[in-house]
Structure 1
Amino acid sequence: MSALAALDGLETRDQRALGVAAFHEGDLAAAISHFQARCLQDSSDYETRYWLASAAAAAGAGEQAAGILDEARTLHALAVLQALDVDVRRLGADRPYAAQVGTQLYARKLMASASYCLGRALDFDNLDPNTMVTYGLSLQHQGRIQEAVDVFTAASEVFSIPGVHQFLLYPLFYVDDRLARVSAESRRWGELYAAAPPGPPPAFANPRTAERKLRIGYVGPSFTRNQVAPSTVPVFEAHDPQAVEVFLYTPDPAAEAPLPDHCTMRKIGHLSDEDAAELIRGDRIDILVDVWGHTAGSRLRVFTLRPAPVQIGWINFMQTTGLTCMDYVMHADSMEVPGNEAYFTEEIWRTGEIMAPYRPSAERHPPTPTPALKNGYVTFGSFNNPAKLNDATVAGWATILKARPADRLILKYGLFTDPVLQRVTQARFAAFGVRPEQIEFRGHTTGPDYTREFHDIDLALDPSPVPGGTTTVDAIANGVPVLVLKGQDFYSRTPLPLLLPCGLEELVVEDWDAYVARALELTADVQALDALRARVRPGFDNSAYRDEVGFTRRLEADYRRMFQRWIDKTA
């Protein structure tokens, strides 16, 4: 007797259970009928609506499924609010209360409930930029990218605030035609907030020879307390004080971890853009490097005042700044895609096989065998922001899991503590036949707890076309193979310089069909998978990523060539 027939005989005739059974047996029409009947019985039943959304998507009714999923998410968010003793009725009438609750929920990473509150907090007669930005971020963090774009677009039009407008740039990299849209919006930001000052370009008293000790300045909100630290700190330490003088411009040097004595720290948090530029000019900087780009805390407007002869973007923001005052942006060789340079105001400077070194955590644990040897099933994993799980990524990963019903997927990120985001994600995978119990969610961890969790993963899966960065190199550094898609533009190809220098060419594939096939091939033979795992960490440890001095010498040589170009151009 089938599961559906067995349930059909129950006196309770639970419509949801009948629908789930029909769904798993492939009878989508019956499943939809049962789910709809249950929804009519209970207008607040979000769980059944999740299943109905999955069944509608599986039946090809994508637009209808999206609407049902939105309804399920809203009902679930309301249930979370009620469980937290939030006065739901008050939210619609008391905007300050809605803003307060929404902000608190955002801080707790309960993004679905936060966005419900923050959307009701908007007073269109008296809009608040902080509320609008937080509302947009709460949508973005759920992967509701177009809604986030709409909010940030409105905020950029209402408020002439450069920091508010910058929030629009990041989600644009998730949309169709992203290169053109990011390029256009970055240039628009530059025209509005970072236009070159009138008059002739500044004259520099810097000695016009590249064969001397150059003065290199780096600008960032921090160099030791964020995601760029594993790359920037090794470079600062490896800089040759006989070849370059290093100046670090940051809001509060006292807040930084110890840095080499040959680095001169400059506090600029209290300075206006004009005063910061004057300080940099007074230090006679030859090469000025921004390590942050259009991200919260950036000081890109300082660069508009052209305080140095050569100005560069590096590390955190690989897209164009849209600013004509920026001379170069640095990319690894394998990111090159012919024609992509048209979307940059800067010249793309190729740095070789990697963009920067990477120093792994000192709290790495000793290597372990692939966990499938003891588990008896394969564990796939992704430690990426849930916003990166677009429809193509979900479809590809779900195809893998459907082919392997005993295997599972770990999705780890701080935002996955939200029960609504968990259930929405399960519903999206279920549309392709993945059972909810195949997906495990994990939240944020740090230090040895974070690195230990890589030991639970047999094969890490990289999303596309918005790929992982730090999480990918962390996985490789901890011995986990990562399967990546080559991608069609420079940004989707950022995983290539992470894998290729480590000798892991077999983990790069051309399209989603090849991705699914390779994932199944790699995990079909657990002994072979374990042999691959045994190569990953040594490949990383012996790669260019760990040659901090070698990379920095090449970087210094690049700086010298850039400066010589400036000399030749301005002769």
Structure 2
Amino acid sequence: MQRSPQTADRARRQWQLGQTHAKAGQWSAASKAFASAAKLAPHDAVYALNLARACMKQGRMAEATREAERAFRLDPRSTLACALWAHCLSEQKRHAEVVMALKLLPADVPRDYDYYDTLARGLQYSGQTQEAIATYFEALAIRMDLPTVHYQLGVCFNDIGMKEEAAECFHTALALGIGKHELGVRGLLSYFEREVCRWRQAQVDLDALLTALHALPPDAAAPTTPFAHVTLFDSPEDQLLAARSASRLLAQGVQPLPPLKPRTAAEQQRRLRIGYVSADFHQHATCILMAEMLEHHDRERFEVTLYSHGKSDNTAMRQRIERAAEHFVDVYRQPDADIVQRIRADGIDLLIDLKGYTKDNRLGLFAWRPARVQASFLGFPGTTGADFIDYIVGDPVVTPIQHAAHFDEKIAQLPVCYQPNDRQRARPEVPSRAECGLPEGALVLCGFNQPFKISAEVFDSWCRLLHRLPDAVLWLLEWNTQVRKNIECEAQNRGIAPSRIVWAPRRAPALHMARLQQADVFIDTWPCNAHTTASDALWAGVPVVTYIGRTFASRVAASLNGAVGLQSLVCTTVQEYEDRIVALACDAAARAGLRAQLAQAREGSVLFDSVRFTRDIEALYLRMMARHDAGMAPDHLLA
């Protein structure tokens, strides 16, 4: 229907008024004027587009998305309307819809760099990695000198296992100048290079990473990669520095919710409400460890809610975890503000993060302070450096009170070991050595850690062991296709034939546990020990020899060994570590005795007593809450 001239004139005046308010930054008034114009002229794409922009400026993303889409539908050749619609969708993490929106632009409409960059990110974040890579190259064909595109391209290469290509993209991004993101990119670069054991170049980049870290001002809020520092360095001081910077960045722009008062006497009579937050409530190391703990929570005293911000993998483990908790809340891809409001509405007393700074974390949720008490547990072996995390759950070995200065949280110690375990782990039949690709009569030294934990120093030690033990083979996991060629080259450089390294392909957990039993000795890494992998080895009856360090991540295997009575296999120097392995290698009776001890430990040790562990951690949770109920600040809770 055609508008009258008077209606068109009123719409234009409202639009002009909106423009005036917009220039003054008065977005509420601007949106009202634009809404009036759009109502008077509902078929005018310009008015809808301006209304969308005003709504977006106020954070009214649902309305902004609706109006931006309407503007594009009214003018399907408008690259501006299409871009704004995609931006609104992206802000809500609706990445698949971003791709759909951008692909609606007619083929003959010219595309610029921003179009391809936005489309590539939508493809990347919706799991269409190969197509994302091709689209990033389209963006680079228009502008080759943009470091952020090279960075994102590197992330995509990493996601499909092309670690070396990812590292080269990161080198390019750094050379072009990535600005405030330099430190974070350097951390990922060092980590990616270690994932393929490209040690010589990695050492140069590790040195550059530390130089950049130490140049940070004391109050920095810069993007760092705390996980890289936890896994690649044995410096608790540097780990704390990196974590503090990252946590300040997470807290920027966050307005915490009003603080919750201590529970009233009546509230203390009800069950304690515990919330666990993770992206890993599926077939993942975290759930492999804590599934039975969740099942054993005392429902008469504790009301447990799981907030899952990760994708379901539809595995039996996912189904088991969903059954284990009283409430399973799927918040995948929901905005932080919505998740925080849900947690506050649920009345959670104690909120526990299971991710730290690992992949797909949502640690920023905790900066809003949705719960009375907030803690870090299991997923990240180090400090979060965050003033919004009250406690870190550890034990006397991984978090001794003498190390308190290395943590911004208060230390809450479990009496024996911080790591839960699952007695329902598989106990499959042992395959033959031939089925595992192992020589029949060889001594098998198993190093089944992920390759990022294998440094040049660790591999030097392992090669010295192979020289001292000519009948031994080194059994490694083939985590990616690139690590094998690099490791074998490094072995040859150290006088070890590649044939003395046996590669184990990745397998399902039950099959992996079955073959693990063919190892004679598990040889640990440092400064990041085996964690879940060490528990697997002990469950399989394989003794773990470890070298203890200064950080949480470098003390985990020592804690696990202590919990099964194998403190004698915890070494304090590299020389002691090598001598202990050689002694075991040469003493079949000693190895058999340790296997028998570990067989008994499956039934009788503290490490594999899930019920006891659950009661211990529940008691620790109650101690945390008791301080809050009494109006006292968090303090160290020692075993």
The answer for the alignment partner of 2:600 in structure 1 is 538
**8 Å contact 1:145–1:387 — kept in the other structure?**
no
Contact preservation (8 Å) 1:253, 1:266: no
SS in 1 for 2:323: coil
Q: What corresponds to 1:294 in structure 2? A: 357
CA contact (8 A) 2:446 2:476 kept: yes
Please state whether the residue corresponding to 2:480 is helix, strand or coil.
helix
Matches of residues 83-122 of structure 1 in structure 2 within 5 Å?
106-116=158-168, 119-120=171-172
Please state if 1:461 is matched with 2:461.
no
**1:397-546 matched pairs, under 5 angstroms:** 397-415=462-480, 418-427=483-492, 430-431=493-494, 433-546=495-608
Residue 334 of structure 2 is aligned to residue 271 of structure 1: yes
Cross-structure match for 2:259: 202
Cα distance between partner residues in 2 of 1:335 and 1:497: 7
User: Is contact 1:504-1:536 (8 Å) kept?
Assistant: no
Give the Cα–Cα distance (whole angstroms) in 2 for the partners of residues 106 and 199 of structure 1: 35
Alignment of 1:138 with 2:192, yes or no, is yes
CA–CA distance in structure 1, aligned partners of residues 458 and 342 of structure 2: 47
User: Larger C-alpha radius of gyration, 1 or 2?
Assistant: 2
Q: Give the secondary structure class of the aligned counterpart of 1:381.
A: strand
When normalised by structure 2's length, the TM-score is 0.65
**Residue type at the aligned position of 2:461:** G
Using the alignment, how far apart are the partners of 2:250 and 2:462 within structure 1? Answer: 42
1:525 CA drift (Å): 2.3
Q: Secondary structure at the match of 1:483?
A: strand
Q: Any residues of structure 2 matched to 1:51-70 within 5 Å, and which? A: none
Deviates more, 1:470-479 or 1:226-235: 226-235
Shift of the 164–476 alpha-carbon distance from structure 1 to 2, 3 Å rule, reads: farther
Q: AA paired with 1:141?
A: E
CA drift at 1:416: 5.7
Aligned letter for 1:115? A
Separation of aligned partners in 1, 2:159 and 2:485: 16
CA-CA distance at 1:551 after TM superposition: 1.5
- Residue 285 of structure 2 aligns with an amino acid whose one-letter code is Q
Letter in 2 for 1:354: C
Give 1:283 shift: 1.0
Q: Distance in 1 between matches of 2:530 and 2:470?
A: 26
Equivalent of residue 330 in structure 1, options 366, 380, 393: 393
Partner of 2:383: 320
SS at match of 1:495: helix
Q: What SS does the aligned partner of 2:275 have?
A: strand
- Residue by residue over 1:428-477, the C-alpha shift from the partner in whole angstroms, topping out at 9 and shown as x without a partner, is xx43x433332223332223331232133111100122111111111111
Measure the CA separation in 2 of the matches of 1:547 and 1:174: 28
Amino acid paired to 1:112: E
Question: Separation in 2 of the partners of 1:199 and 1:378?
Answer: 57
| Mapped partners of 1:196, 1:340: distance in 2 | 31
Whether the 8 Å CA contact 2:278–2:353 is kept in 1: the answer is yes
SS at match of 2:553: coil
2:40 alignment partner in structure 1: none
* Separation in 2, partners of 1:148, 1:484: 24
Whether the 8 Å CA contact 1:413–1:444 is kept in 2: the answer is yes
2-structure distance, mates of 1:206, 1:569: 9
Deviation readout 1:272-324 (Å, 9 max, x if unpaired): 22222221111111111111111122121111111111111000113111111
Determine the structure 2 residue equivalent to 1:234: 292
**In 2, distance between residues paired with 1:200 and 1:262?**
26
State the secondary structure of the residue aligned to 1:339. helix
Amino acid at match of 1:330: V
**Distance 1:169-1:150 versus aligned 2 partners, 3 A rule:** farther
**1:324 alignment partner AA:** D
Residue 558 of structure 1, aligned match among 613, 620, 628 = 620
**Aligned partner of 1:288: which letter?**
L
Return the offset for 1:524. Answer: 0.7
Report SS of the residue matched to 1:335. coil
Instruction: Tell me the amino acid that sits aligned with residue 464 of structure 2.
Output: T
Q: CA RMSD in A?
A: 4.0
Q: Matched residues in 2 for 1:490 and 1:384: separation?
A: 17
CA 299–378 in structure 1, closer or farther in 2 if over 3 Å, else same: same
**SS of the residue 1:546 aligns to:** coil
Residues 286 and 368 (structure 1 numbering): CA distance in 2 closer, same or farther, change over 3 Å? same
Unaligned runs of 5+ in 1: 1-89
Q: Secondary structure at the match of 2:552?
A: coil
Which residue identity is paired with 2:562?
L
2:60 is aligned to: none
Could you tell me how far 1:550 is from its partner in structure 2? 1.9
Distance 1:491 1:261, change over 3 A: closer
- Is 1:186 the counterpart of 2:240? The answer is no
1 or 2 for the larger relative contact order (CA 8 Å, sep ≥6)? 1
> AA paired with 2:228?
P
Match of 1:172 in 2: 229
Q: Structure 1, residues 83-123: CA drift from partner, whole Å, max 9, x if none? A: xxxxxxx99x9789988996775445343354346645778
Q: Percent identity?
A: 24
Conserved? CA contact 1:359–1:545, under 8 Å: no
Matched letter for residue 387 of structure 2: T
Counterpart for residue 427 of structure 2: 364
Change (3 A) 1:137 1:446: same
Contact 1:416 1:441 in 2 (8 A): no
Query: Quick check: 2:347–2:371 contact (8 Å CA) kept in 1?
Result: yes
Structure 1 residues 235, 506: CA separation in 2 closer, same or farther (over 3 Å shift)?
same
Determine whether 1:386 maps to 2:451.
yes
Return the match for 1:284 from 307, 327, 347: 347
Specify whether residues 508 and 221 from structure 1 end up closer, same or farther in structure 2 by C-alpha distance, changes over 3 A only.
Answer: same
Query: In 2, distance between residues paired with 1:177 and 1:521?
Result: 27
Tell me which amino acid in the other structure corresponds to 1:303.
F
Shift of 1:502: 1.4
Query: Is the 1:337–1:488 contact (alpha carbons within 8 Å) kept by the matching residues of 2?
Result: no
Superposed CA deviations along residues 53-73 of structure 1, whole A, max 9, x for unmatched, are xxxxxxxxxxxxxxxxxxxxx
d(CA) in 2 for partners of 1:252, 1:285 = 20
Cα distance between partner residues in 2 of 1:119 and 1:496 = 37
Indicate the larger mover: 498-507 or 314-323: 498-507
Query: Would the aligned equivalents of 2:235 and 2:551 in 1 still touch at CA under 8 Å?
Result: no
- State how far apart, in whole Å, the 1-side matches of 2:270 and 2:534 are: 38
CA contact (8 A) 2:221 2:245 kept: no
Deviations 1:315-369 (A, max 9, x none): 0113111111111001122224453210211001101112132116644324689
8 Å contact from structure 1 (residues 360, 474) kept in 2: no
**Aligned residue pair count:** 475
Residue 368 to residue 483, structure 1, CA distance change in 2 (3 Å): farther
Please, which moves more after superposition, 241-250 or 532-541? 532-541
Q: Measure, in 1, the Cα distance between the counterparts of 2:357 and 2:589.
A: 45
SS of the residue corresponding to residue 375 of structure 1 reads coil
2:408 is the counterpart of 1:345: yes
Q: Is the 8 A contact 1:480 1:537 kept in 2?
A: no
Partner SS, residue 491 of structure 1: helix
